[in-house]
Amino acid sequence: MNIRHNISLKNYNTFGIDVFAKHFVEATSVSDLQNIIKLDYPEKFLLGGGSNMLLTKSIDEALVVHVNIKGKEIIDKDDDSVYIKAYAGENWHKFILWCISQNYGGLENMSLIPGNVGTAPIQNIGAYGRELKDNFVSCETIEIATGKIKLFTKEDCNFGYRNSVFKTNLKGQFIITSVTFKLTRKNHITNTSYGAIEAELASMNIEKPTLYDISNAVIAIRQSKLPDPKVLGNCGSFFKNPVVSNSVFKKFKLNFPEAPSYPVSETETKIPAGWLIEQAGFKGKRFGDAGVHKNQALVLVNYGKATGQDIWNLAMTIKSVVFEKFGIEINPEVNIY
């Protein structure tokens, strides 16, 4: 185990924010991690793909632990399905491409989401009508306080919209080391009902899409709307779409009848934050090196030299202008340090 000092985290977070870790270590196996958590530091700061994190300052006290455990195993198989255990450090998109190449179905709508397998359950990642929880079976973790291995079933994880027990009740207490998925081997349950996917498949002249076709359609849509973090630093959606009660929604709809919305239950409705931010006049705007993406207002971007604080200040300005204009509160989806 090699503890390094004063390491720039610029290449470890997709926003490309240049802050430093005073103490940094990489874990490439579960036993590595078990040893690392025994080390005497006031705190351990876990870093996976760094795709859902805004770093506003250097990390001086905590030991930054880059979880980079690679590998995948088929743990069970029958005629219809396969159970695959993927380790935390596997790149999410590469893992999906491998699944598709094996004709294992279920994750294709979530192609090209940045980040790693091990952090995907924390916020129950999702896109185009599918969420991680739809194919999730369990995940293996290490409890930081005891070093013990603990298995979380789907029920234990208490998944919600961009949420799980790892973001709420048990925040910061467990490190996810692997995730087990159940995927289909035939009779794939594809979901192409999300408008943009249907249109993309139609433009590709595809009537009966394969897993590969769906993945390609999703990749094309994402590439047309969402910036590639390798080119323009970003963390995908910066804010969550607000979910409001019917009474709040009614008032809102009276004033803004043209706003898109999606019912989430009998009592609540989701309003796209991207629409609110665009209507508040921020889409495509740049403030120094921090900005709002020109094709998707929900995405904040770093044009190169923005600090985490610059991005945070912009986010808070957007939040307050949106609240003034619409009376609706929007909150970050990304983790802030």
Active site residues: 162, 237, 333
- 298 counts as binding ligand EPU under rule CB under 6 A: yes
Q: How far apart are CA 73 and CA 48, in angstroms?
A: 20
Contact region with ligand EPU (CB under 6 A), list: 21-29, 63-71, 89-97, 236-244: 236-244
Closer CB to ligand EPU, 85 or 319, in the complex:
319
Tokens coding 207? 């009537």
Q: Which of residues 115-144 bind ligand EPU (CB under 6 A)?
A: 127-128
Are 246 and 269 a contacting pair, CB within 8 Å?
yes
Rounded (10°) angle between helices 211-225 and 92-101:
150
Toward ligand EPU, which CB reaches closer, 274 or 308?
Answer: 274
Q: How far is CA 79 from CA 76, 84, 210, 313, in A?
A: 11, 14, 19, 53
User: Pick from 23, 167, 182, 283: which binds ligand EPU (CB under 6 A)?
Assistant: 283
Distance CA 264, CA 240 (A): 14
Q: What residues pair up with 287 in beta bridges, in sequence order?
A: 290
Stretch that binds ligand EPU, among 4-12, 81-89, 176-184, 270-278 (CB under 6 A): 270-278
Instruction: Tell me how far CA of residue 261 lies from CA of 10, 148, 270, 298, in angstroms.
Output: 37, 44, 6, 15
Instruction: Quote the least distance from Cβ 49 to ligand EPU, whole Å.
Output: 12
Show the site string, 305-334: x = touches ligand EPU by CB under 6 A, - = not.
----------------------------x-
Q: Taking the complex as a whole, how short is the minimal distance between the CB of residue 331 and ligand EPU, in angstroms? A: 10
Binding site for ligand EPU (CB under 6 A): 127-128, 226, 236-237, 240-241, 260, 272, 274-275, 278, 283, 296-298, 333
